[in-house]
Structure 1
Amino acid sequence: MFNNPVRPEPHKILKIIPQTKLEWTFRIENNIPVKHGQFMQLSIPKVGEAPISLSGFGKGYADFTIRRVGKVTDRLFSMKEGDYIFLRGCYGNGWPFEKLKDKNVVVIAGGTGVSPVKSLIDELFDRSDYAKEIYLIFGFKNSNSILFKDELEKWKKAGYFHVVYTLDNEKYSGWQVGMVTNFIKNIPFESFKGNYECLVVGPPVMMRFVGKELIVNSVPEDKIWMSFERKMSCAVGKCGHCRIDETYVCLDGPIFNYTIGKKLVD
């Protein structure tokens, strides 16, 4: 069979897991090799196509946590388990998982930005001897927008996980109140003696301020990795929709070291 990198193939929806009123996780059959932080193109014939990061994967499946916004996701949210959706990919470079070996790992994520880093955290949880201590700072707008509640509680109970979960302006049992940037100063970077990496993902404004706050706390730029969320179309560097200056997010990213990512300003 001719291997066409832009040809979608049908895949069955195995399971649908509501996270919030607007975000659902779709577990879709998949045997395509994937990496943490990569994305695939989901399409519905005669409706359209959308690039979606993986929120999890395992033998025979891939998870996509999707917000209902636009005609493609509207139609997707009307589908049922057993229906078929079209996929192509995987695309992108993914998180530098191999760099996390035997290091302390700091993950700072906001809102739906938790999705592109969830599979990586799942593996760090399952492989407790891979990295050292894990520090999570996750922020959501309010209690109705919290994703992956079961997983958040599971990670919180792990002895080598140090977590801060926060809501912007709402009090919620066991959670902090405030922006994620407020809690960066509490991470013991000096005690790491340079043996750490920071992963950041979320809305562009959030990532900008998180990057600045990490620098204020003496984190070297090359220790910071960011996932750039940007509307893509072809995913193979042909259409130019994701081009920023001379950089194609779909080909060169979506994960960038801060030494490069700080320059990617629209």
Structure 2
Amino acid sequence: MNRNDYVPFQSEILEIVKHTEIEYTFRMSYYGEVKPGQFFEVSIPKFGEAPISVSGIGDGYVDLTIRKVGKVTNEVFEKYKGEYFYLRGPYGNGFEVNDHKGNELVIVAGGTGVSPVRGVISYFADHPDECRNFTIITGFKSEKDILFRDDFTYWRKKLHVIQTLDAGTETPEHKVGLATAFIPGLELSDVNTAHAIVVGPPAMMRFSVKALLERGFKEEHIWISQERKMCCGLGKCGHCRIGDKYVCLDGPVFNYTEGKNLID
């Protein structure tokens, strides 16, 4: 179905999953093409709209993981299963799973940065034979801040998962320390062909990419997401502009050869 990109459409809340006190996943009805790393504008009449990354894709739905941080998202948390949001999108370019098939892949994600790459991780967890080696390094502030717990339980059975906490007690499931500290020790059969994806807070992304380059990854084999710069989705408001690029249109996913020049 063709939609006007400027006009929101109604989407039913099919399910709500609570991860933490301020982070829920809303499963929204949706039929259409969408990729991990793309985003929707979620709106509530009289309250405004907010850009939210796709955190899951299925038959007739998309998952949107939302943090309660402002006027619009506060109102989002007052909604219940069977009620509706209005959506625009999907916008931007996403992660192409096909880019990584047959390669070793490392994903480094911090906090809610797991959301836009969840679809990529889930794909290779379901198709482990399509990737030579897969490592996920995720960082959360504490044990109570972990998202997608059920997914991590499944992913640990299929992939190499390193889950770090900024603070707390080390357990068989959790290591304590910054995610970047575990990049130098990555075991790879050929770093020259290995791929990496990095998503998270700006400082975490900067130091993660630096560590990957020092480990021997090639710039052209690293992808990043500038999801924190997403705004209107259409490149009209100008708030996402960095240099001559519009994150809403040219991103939010960039190959690092291009993304390294996006200095805000």
TM-score under structure 2 normalisation?
A: 0.96
Instruction: State whether residues 40 and 90 of structure 1, in contact with CA within 8 Å, keep that contact through their aligned partners in structure 2.
Output: yes
**Structure 2 residue aligned with 1:184:** 183
SS in 1 for 2:10: strand
Instruction: Give the share of equivalent positions with the same residue, in percent.
Output: 49
- Contact 1:51–1:231 at 8 Å: present in 2 too? no
Residue 5 of structure 2 aligns with which residue? Answer: 5
Query: What's the CA shift string for 1:139-177, capped at 9, x where partnerless?
Result: 10001100011111111122xx11111101211422101
Alpha-carbon separation, structure 1, partners of 2:232 and 2:113:
22
Gaps of 5+ in 1: none
- The offset of 1:193, in angstroms, is 5.3
Alpha-carbon shift at residue 218 of structure 1 (Å)? 1.4
SS of alignment partner, residue 192 of structure 1: coil
Whole-Å separation in 2 of the counterparts to 1:19 and 1:147: 6
Q: Is the 8 A contact 1:225 1:256 kept in 2?
A: yes
How far apart in 2 are the matches of 1:128 and 1:6?
A: 39
Match of 1:31 in 2: 31
Counterparts in 2 of 1:87-126, with a 5 A limit? 87-126=87-126
Residue of structure 1 equivalent to 2:248: 250
Moved more, 9-18 or 233-242: 233-242
Q: Deviations over 1:175-203 (max 9, x none)?
A: 101001100011123x2253321000000
Q: With structure 1 as the length reference, what TM-score do the two structures score?
A: 0.95
SS at 1:54 equivalent: strand
- The answer for the alignment partner of 1:163 in structure 2 is 161
Q: Distance in 2 between matches of 1:131 and 1:218?
A: 19
Contiguous gaps of at least 5 residues in structure 2: none
Distance 1:194 1:83, change over 3 A: same
Q: Is the 8 A contact 1:6 1:234 kept in 2?
A: no
Count of residue pairs brought into register by the alignment: 263
Opposite residue 249 of structure 2, the aligned amino acid is: L
Residue of structure 1 in register with 2:219 after alignment: 221
Report SS of the residue matched to 2:93. coil
- Rounded to whole Å, the distance in 2 between the matches of 1:92 and 1:82 is 28
Q: Deviations over 1:66-110 (max 9, x none)?
A: 100101111110111000100111111101321111111100001
Moved over 6 A (4+): none
Pick from 257, 261, 264 the counterpart of residue 262 of structure 2: 264
Q: Partners in 1 of 2:78 and 2:199 — Cα distance?
A: 29
Partner of 1:80: 80
Aligned to 1:203: 201
1:88 alignment partner AA: R
Among candidates 224, 227, 230, match of residue 228 of structure 2: 230
Helix, strand or coil at the partner of 2:128: coil
Q: Which residue of the partner structure matches residue 57 of structure 2?
A: 57
> Structure 1 residues 2, 169: closer, same or farther in 2, change over 3 A?
closer
* CA distance in 1 between partners of 2:141 and 2:29 (Å): 31
For residues 31-83 of structure 1, the C-alpha deviation after alignment (integer angstroms, 9 at most, x for no partner) is 02101111111100111100000110100010011100101111110111000
* Cα distance change, pair 164–2 in 1 and its aligned pair in 2 (3 A): closer
Amino acid at match of 2:175: Q
